[in-house]
Amino acid sequence: MLRRMAVAVFALGLIGAGLFWLATIPKTVPESALGAHTPDLANGKTMFFAGGCASCHATPGQDDRTRLGGGLALKSPFGTFHVPNISSDRRDGIGGWTEAQFVTAMQKGTSPDGRHYYPAFPYTSYQRMSIPDLRDLFAYIRTLPAEQGRVQEHELGFPFNIRRALGLWKLFFLDGRPFRPDAAQTTQWNRGAYLVNGPGHCAECHSPRNVLGGIVVRQRFAGGPDLEGQGWVPNITQAGLGNWSEDDIAQFFEFGDKPDGRPILGSMVPVIRNVSQLPASDRAAMAAYLKSLPPVEGPPRPQRR
């Protein structure tokens, strides 16, 4: 009897391991899915600033935001992530990648060597971007300076250092759906919705997270604790921006000043540095979309001592 039980447990273990392996296979985008494309470098530059690529990937300690050698350390409740080199260097950056590998990384969170990327890289938002925009972005990044050097590995303890398990995480939080325009809304609103939810990945910082690190959908954009432990990220629904007009929001994106004249501080400074480079029409579109968000109450903010 004990032997049969042991055999049954062993068989169930093998079945479970097989199911786990199949469920966590990293997904990719094949080259055949891309088709012909003529890169638009101007659009790629717009996507670069909308995505805030330099904010994380520019090498710390220097002022040239086009030198994307990585090295920034991002602290989180799960450990410390070290932002990689995404410069045009063929060995240490992404200069040797194919378009399909870049699109795969951005939409599927899978590396060229077939490993899951950690969602500190916000591919849950970048998956909303269109393939032409991603290809333009890739083409633009390849025009920027090549930077040598690879950053250190992430510092994560067990079980967060098991990358394969991210395949299960993706089953819950990576739905694979691209942005779909809302036919009931204006062209401007849809452009703003695309920029905010796709390349801008605003919800990644401005939403509370659950214990698995996924965004709490019902409180999207409602603010919450900063994942790096640097304070509190504000609510950007009408519960937080109710007194702001569309013009206030658009001017904030351009100059970084609040309606009362106070300048923005902290981690939003590099965001404004990027968004201010967008065309005025894009900043206005983002403002129109954000102003349309219904009020949502976020988690209670701790009382200051």
Q: Which listed CATH number (1.10.10, 1.10.760, 3.40.190, 3.40.50) goes with 181-305?
A: 1.10.760
pLDDT of residue 299: 87
Which residue has better confidence, 139 or 159? 139
Please state, in angstroms and rounded to a whole number, the distance separating the CA atoms of residues 272 and 253.
6
Q: What is the three-class DSSP state of 127?
A: coil
Please state, in angstroms and rounded to a whole number, the distance separating the CA atoms of residues 119 and 237.
24
DSSP code per residue over 238-250: HHHHTT--HHHHH
Beta sheet of 79-82, edge-to-edge order = 73-76, 79-82, 155-156
Boundaries of every domain in the chain: 27-178, 181-305
Structure tokens at 278: 């967008």
pLDDT of residue 241: 93
Q: What is the three-class DSSP state of 192?
A: helix
Burial, 17: exposed, middle or buried (Cβ in 10 Å; 0-12, 13-18, 19+)? exposed
pLDDT of residue 174: 96
pLDDT of residue 34: 92
The arithmetic mean of pLDDT across residues 89-115, rounded, is 96
Which residue has better confidence, 103 or 300? 103
Please state, in angstroms and rounded to a whole number, the distance separating the CA atoms of residues 153 and 303.
36
Burial state string for 110-144 with b = 16 or more CB within 10 A and e = fewer than 16: bbeeeebbbbbbbbbbbbbbebbbbbbbbbbbbeb
Burial, 2: exposed, middle or buried (Cβ in 10 Å; 0-12, 13-18, 19+)? exposed
Burial, 9: exposed, middle or buried (Cβ in 10 Å; 0-12, 13-18, 19+)? exposed
Q: Is the dihedral of CA 108, 109, 110, 111 positive or negative?
A: positive
pLDDT of residue 275: 95
Residues 144-156 have pLDDT tens digits of 999 998 899 999 9
Confidence of residue 100 (pLDDT cuts 50, 70, 90): very high
pTM over 0.85: yes
Residues 203-260 have pLDDT tens digits of 999 999 998 899 999 999 999 888 766 678 999 999 999 899 999 999 999 999 888 8
Beta bridge partners of 76: 79
> Is the CB of residue 86 less than 8 Å from the CB of residue 141?
yes
Residue 123 pLDDT more than 90? yes
Calculate the alpha carbon distances from 292 to 118, 147, 250, 260 in Å.
Answer: 31, 41, 14, 21
Structure tokens at 212: 């698995």
Confidence of residue 272 (pLDDT cuts 50, 70, 90): very high
